[in-house]
Structure 1
């Protein structure tokens, strides 16, 4: 009897693992069709197994057919939207005008992000004239220690910074900070300067600079960043614009909803 009750649990766990591996295999191509063979290769599954699991996911609207390939389905997108909290929506709506101001004054790609644990979630993104491939996407998340927006907020959030320092620091590129002592030094410099830099730490060939939007107690509500191809970000010229925009955004939030913002 113990064998018969334990066996389905092992089967169910294996099925879930395979399904998650396939969903993760879509990566940043979640809206475009990917063939079964490629998904199977990425998920390290046999083609027949991948086809069988994809059929189950399709029946549940988690993936959908696109010609001979698959893309993420409507049900999964709805689940993703459910994880996008009302607080994030409020922050995005209030700060989007300042993100637009930053874009207009720089014509570079700009981001608005919030801190979620030891990760950043991207709330908005405007593409610049000189665009470069970046891992950021609206609603997407990245390790905070590997991004300018993330480090800008970690520097002013001791609890999240401590937690990040006790977890393994994943390397997204060969330049990502992976040593706790190095991260602590970097965060100290950010607090001194008020500006965070990402020198190809989140994506090779990409440079970013960011500043936090702080509440009246000095806690990070969000962060704005400017991104450009490595070697094409004039930090000396752009830093004052970034500072002014973040300061104006913080003042506006306090003026609009002082109780709500100050109580976070």
Structure 2
């Protein structure tokens, strides 16, 4: 049996002439970027991207290499996801008083860093993802998929679970979709995720147990607005072999409670000023 050439475009068969793809390199690169769709943060394999963009795997691999060198995509294990360049070019996240959230809570993030000396994050929800507003690197930090301005699905992060636990409507929207497995520890069963979020709601503390990257664990807590609903979350993360996230839970509760009071006071002042 003759096997089709790996260079054939989708639709070509062995022994038949391949129709020429008249698209320019720019057209093909844009087709690849469009092919990520809702998986832009999670990551997609080369073969699947090639299928979606109607390109050969070899052409896709070459173009992805070019896009990676320019920051338009980045590796996520064996997959690719949209990179920092496109996040920088994207419109700012739509959230009222976002600057107030970042400016008010960053000093508390610094306090959390001083207490832990581990990597700390400040994040908000945008749709089904978390968006990182700030990040301070710890002394023993390990590579993490998070970056300021970056987006990661909320269900597999500590900061995301700290906020999702208090938003049942969004939780059901997420569990009704595809829960991609980032690591062998990622919670992808809807009932398990609901139970996990119920524990977060009861304790006020969320954990990431190597769910977004193997070897990385974290503890997180919400920062609440005047209505009691989370406006953001902060986390402490570190290496699984040397960092015990439960040891930071008391500090997380205390600092996030203090941050919640400070945010409520700043928000009242902000609104009075119009």
Conserved 8 A contact 1:194-1:211: yes
Matched residue of 1:225: which SS? strand
Q: Structure 1 residues 236, 133: CA separation in 2 closer, same or farther (over 3 Å shift)?
A: same
Q: Give a deviation string over 1:155-209, Cα, whole Å, max 9, x none.
A: 0112211211211111111110001100110011111111001110010000010
Counterpart position of 1:250: 260
Q: Give a deviation string over 1:90-148, Cα, whole Å, max 9, x none.
A: 32122111111100111000000101111111111000011111111111111111011
- The structural deviation recorded for 1:256 is 1.3
1:216 aligns with 2:215: no
Q: 1:153 aligns with which of 160, 163, 176?
A: 163
Distance in 2 of aligned mates of 1:75 and 1:156: 32
Counterpart position of 1:192: 202
Q: TM-score under structure 2 normalisation?
A: 0.71
Counterpart position of 1:128: 138
**Would you say how many aligned residue pairs link Structure 1 and Structure 2?**
226
Conserved 8 A contact 2:221-2:235: yes
- Which stretches in structure 2 are left out of the alignment for 5+ residues? 1-21, 51-55, 73-83
Counterpart position of 1:119: 129
Q: Structure 1 residues 226, 163: CA separation in 2 closer, same or farther (over 3 Å shift)?
A: same
Q: TM-score under structure 1 normalisation?
A: 0.73
Counterpart position of 2:71: 72
Q: Give a deviation string over 1:4-30, Cα, whole Å, max 9, x none.
A: xxxxxx969x744234469xxx99xxx
- The structural deviation recorded for 1:42 is 10
Matched residue of 2:178: which SS? coil
Conserved 8 A contact 2:216-2:240: yes
RMSD, aligned α-carbons: 3.5
Q: Give a deviation string over 1:22-49, Cα, whole Å, max 9, x none.
A: 9xxx99xxxxxxxxxxxx8996556667
Q: Structure 1 residues 204, 161: CA separation in 2 closer, same or farther (over 3 Å shift)?
A: same
Conserved 8 A contact 2:119-2:236: yes
Counterpart position of 1:84: 93
- The structural deviation recorded for 1:89 is 3.2
Distance in 2 of aligned mates of 1:46 and 1:161: 36
Conserved 8 A contact 1:146-1:198: yes
- Which stretches in structure 1 are left out of the alignment for 5+ residues? 1-9, 28-39, 64-68
Matched residue of 2:202: which SS? helix
Q: Structure 1 residues 78, 179: CA separation in 2 closer, same or farther (over 3 Å shift)?
A: closer
102-111 vs 209-218, greater mean Cα deviation: 209-218
Counterpart position of 2:8: none
Distance in 1 of aligned mates of 2:164 and 2:122: 15
Q: Give a deviation string over 1:44-72, Cα, whole Å, max 9, x none.
A: 55666777x79xxx9xxxx6xxxxx8313
Distance in 1 of aligned mates of 2:138 and 2:113: 7
Conserved 8 A contact 2:93-2:126: no
